[in-house]
């Protein structure tokens, strides 16, 4: 059996804002669970039948640390998702006021774009233009 990513879990300052961002880039993702734990923090699973993103609030009684500076601090640099229409997603994100990290990168067999969500996490969206493994992972 091949290992595949089922989910990742990330603490965010505003779950509803994160859901709004995710719904732009993953329109088939639905909130599967929205709960408040017995320790008093809210958590949500948003996804489809194959995978999901676990979002949770900081635990009560703890102050948030300084925001991550991607590619400088230890931690998540970006979250990558495969998308079907990078240009359409780019337009929707720009229309909603989300900040890009540079222009769309167009390569022979893929398009890539990077955006920051409201929590400061960088997301990479990749549209593959070929089904060939070698084409997809040709680093130009």
What's the pLDDT tens digit per position in 95-130?
Answer: 999 999 999 999 999 999 999 999 889 999 999 999
- Give the domain range for residue 104: 7-59+76-136
Q: Which of 4-8, 36-40, 66-70, 83-87 has the lowest mean pLDDT?
A: 66-70
Asked whether residue 36 is assigned to any structural domain, the reply reads yes
Residue 2 has a pLDDT of 62
d(CA 7, CA 80): 12
d(CA 110, CA 136): 7
Residue 60 has a pLDDT of 87
Q: What is the pLDDT of residues 16-41, one digit of tens each?
A: 999 999 999 999 999 999 999 998 99
Asked whether residue 29 is assigned to any structural domain, the reply reads yes
The number of folded domains in the chain is: 1
The predicted model gives 77-92 an average pLDDT of: 93
């Amino acid at each position: 059996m091949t290992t595949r990513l089922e989910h990742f879990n990330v603490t965010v300052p505003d779950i509803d804002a994160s859901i709004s961002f995710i719904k732009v880039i993953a329109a088939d993702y639905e909130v599967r669970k929205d709960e408040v734990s017995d320790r008093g923090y809210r958590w949500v699973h948003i996804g489809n039948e194959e995978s999901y993103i676990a979002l949770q609030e900081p635990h009560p009684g703890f102050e948030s640390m300084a925001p991550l500076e991607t590619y400088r601090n230890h931690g998540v640099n970006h979250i990558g998702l495969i998308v079907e229409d990078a240009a359409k997603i780019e337009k929707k994100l720009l229309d909603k006021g989300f900040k890009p990290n540079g222009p769309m990168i167009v390569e022979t067999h893929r398009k890539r774009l990077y955006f920051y969500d409201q929590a400061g996490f960088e997301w990479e969206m990749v549209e593959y233009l070929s089904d060939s493994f070698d084409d997809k992972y040709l680093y130009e």
